[in-house]
Structure 1
Amino acid sequence: MYFIPILSMLLSVYLPGLVIQSISFDEQSKWKNYVRVLPVSVTDEALSKYIPLFLYCIISGGIIFTIGNFVSAIGFIPMSFAIITIDTLITACYGFIFGCVSIPATYRFGTANSRYFIMGFILIPVIVVIVLSSLKNIKITNIMSSIPANMVAIMIVGIFILAAFVSIKITIHVLKSHRI
């Protein structure tokens, strides 16, 4: 019953976490010294981490969608297409928000010190699962069916755009302050 939600939370943190791993490799190899010599703007340097983040979020959502449909088709866990789609969107959204929080934190505090932000962000799904499991009468499908689908789509797109804009601006500001 909890196979797909747990897998979606793992993938939503693991694949976008590869971007943080690349920042760690950049720190270890002193990549900043080489970037300062190259004609690369701060904006380009910041966007170079958000493009893979977006692609990793799409990939993690696609993996959950594929596994969810496969598991449902073989009858291992009977799930509706709506639940699989919701889990796919949650995976992509949570991974993107995770990346939007951890990329500026990693640039600001370094990879060693930003692990506390990352660990705190990983605890959020655990807390949500505990709270939702204690509320046994509330089903997520009832909540989602009460909201119009176009409103959910607009909210998701709005949250994506707002999170990306704010995170990129913070990252650019942090990179400019460290570049001096």
Structure 2
Amino acid sequence: MIGLLKKDFYLIIKNFKAIQIFALIPPIFAATQNPNFIMPIFSIMVSMILASQVSQTMNIDESEKWNRNLTAMPISSSREAGSKYILLILTALLSSVILLLLGFWAEKKGLIAEPFILIYSLLGFFYAIAYGSIIIPAAYKFGVYNTKYILMIFIFIPTIIPLILNSLDINYNFDFILRLRLSTIVSIIIFLTIVMMSISFLLSKIILYKKEIS
């Protein structure tokens, strides 16, 4: 398992391109239309950039015929799939840390209230987990290339919604979240994370097992 994670981290570092950061430009522009959206959009985009590195490693594995080579190694499909989910959790945690720092910056600039700092950090974590839970089994089943539309949808949503709301003169904010206790928010996110990843991992195992015996 550790060896698989080392391989994936090596692939991420080797193949990461600065141009991926430019994916932040469209949502940043959208956020300028309404400052209330700057941190929600950052939460989504930062988590997407990091979580998409998981599918990037799967794309390289696919192009290098890694899954075929895997059958000749003493590595089970459970470990192969499990390493991707551990990588997903790590990228989600990293996005949370980055968003926590951005949250402190936004709070100092008066863009968000202090209670939202942790909330947006948790939002980024959850969005990364949600994307990864969908993309991993889908990539195993249909191939990474055929899942590119999922990535487009996850990026398109945070970009277009602020523009639509602004065009309708809707000055929407997220103060309703403050009515929930932090412990409640954390509990909901933990519960949904466990459910999504459990279902996703089970699907990935089934897909890989069927490929092994076919």
Provide the TM-score with structure 2 as the length reference.
0.75
* CA displacement 1:39-91 (0-9 Å, x = unmatched): 11111111010111101011011101112213433x3x442221221211111
- Following the alignment from structure 1 to structure 2, what is the Cα–Cα distance between the partners of residues 135 and 38? 59
Q: Tell me, what secondary structure is at the counterpart of 2:71? A: helix
- Following the alignment from structure 2 to structure 1, what is the Cα–Cα distance between the partners of residues 89 and 165? 28
Q: Which runs of 5+ in 2 are unaligned?
A: 1-34
Give 1:93's aligned residue. 126
- 2:102 corresponds to 1:51: no
Shift in CA distance, 177/124, structure 1 to aligned 2, threshold 3 Å: farther
- 2:209 corresponds to 1:176: yes
Q: Which runs of 5+ in 1 are unaligned?
A: none
* CA displacement 1:156-177 (0-9 Å, x = unmatched): 1100100110010011111111
Give 1:83's aligned residue. 116
Q: Which amino acid aligns with 1:24?
A: N
Q: Which amino acid aligns with 1:121?
A: F
- Following the alignment from structure 1 to structure 2, what is the Cα–Cα distance between the partners of residues 128 and 60? 22
Give the drift of 1:148.
2.9
Match of 1:140 among 174, 195, 205: 174
- 2:43 corresponds to 1:8: yes
Q: Which amino acid aligns with 2:105?
A: F
Give 1:31's aligned residue. 66
- Following the alignment from structure 1 to structure 2, what is the Cα–Cα distance between the partners of residues 35 and 54? 23
- Following the alignment from structure 1 to structure 2, what is the Cα–Cα distance between the partners of residues 83 and 18? 27
Identity of aligned residues (%): 28
Give the drift of 1:123.
2.9
* Greater RCO, 1 or 2 (C-alpha within 8 Å, sep 6+): 1
- Following the alignment from structure 1 to structure 2, what is the Cα–Cα distance between the partners of residues 104 and 135? 40
Q: Is the 8 A contact 1:61 1:92 kept in 2?
A: yes
Give the drift of 1:120.
2.4
Q: Is the 8 A contact 1:64 1:87 kept in 2?
A: yes
- Following the alignment from structure 2 to structure 1, what is the Cα–Cα distance between the partners of residues 69 and 87? 21
Shift in CA distance, 161/128, structure 1 to aligned 2, threshold 3 Å: farther
Give the drift of 1:132.
6.0
Shift in CA distance, 144/166, structure 1 to aligned 2, threshold 3 Å: same
